[in-house]
A = this chain, B = another copy of it.
Amino acid sequence: MSIHPQIIADTVPLCETTNAAILLMNDSRWPWVVLVPTVADINELHDLTHEQRNQFMADVNQVSRVVQHQTGCKSVNVAMLGNIVSQLHCHVVARNETDPAWPGPVWGFGLAVAYDNNWPDRLITALRKSFT
């Protein structure tokens, strides 16, 4: 199963679980993780089997927990949209009242600001560690 080229272009890989590839969006405006299930090439959450869904959502859940713990964000946005890239993928985004799109959604908001020398190293390390 291959990951859609648009997702590859927008992200850097963090780690892989038995169920999913976990990637960091190269957008320094928000700590923003994307998970792509690697068990099946599908478009919708309900296309996963019961077991695949529970495993994928367990990974999503773990990313969400680590993101909130590491960033102290006000809320975590967890979303599977698929309007632009149809391959099923789940966004996990740390949101704060001070972020530029708050309280609106991040999708379609302005342009990504690529990381320079300001990669969120602590978050990256914590995410990778949590899946080992």
Instruction: Establish whether residues A95 and B83, one from each chain, have CB atoms under 8 Å apart when the complex forms.
Output: yes
Q: What are 14 A-B pairs at a CB distance below 8 A?
A: A44-B75, A45-B64, A45-B78, A53-B57, A54-B54, A57-B57, A77-B80, A77-B82, A79-B80, A81-B95, A83-B95, A83-B104, A103-B108, A105-B107
Is A17 engaged at the interface, CB distance under 8 Å to the other chain? no
Is A71 engaged at the interface, CB distance under 8 Å to the other chain? no
Smallest Cβ-Cβ distance to A102: which chain B residue: B83
Instruction: Establish whether residues A64 and B46, one from each chain, have CB atoms under 8 Å apart when the complex forms.
Output: yes
Q: Please tell me how many copies of the chain the complex holds.
A: 2
Is A1 engaged at the interface, CB distance under 8 Å to the other chain? no
Q: How many residues of A contact B (CB 8 A)?
A: 34
Residues of B within 8 A of A21 (CB): none
Is A70 engaged at the interface, CB distance under 8 Å to the other chain? no
Residues of B within 8 A of A95 (CB): 81, 83
* Cβ-neighbour of A81 out of B50, B57, B61, B105 (below 8 A): B105
Distance A64 CA – B104 CA, assembled complex (angstroms): 23
Instruction: Establish whether residues A53 and B61, one from each chain, have CB atoms under 8 Å apart when the complex forms.
Output: yes
Smallest Cβ-Cβ distance to A99: which chain B residue: B83
Instruction: Establish whether residues A44 and B68, one from each chain, have CB atoms under 8 Å apart when the complex forms.
Output: yes
Residues of B within 8 A of A83 (CB): 74-75, 77, 95, 102-104
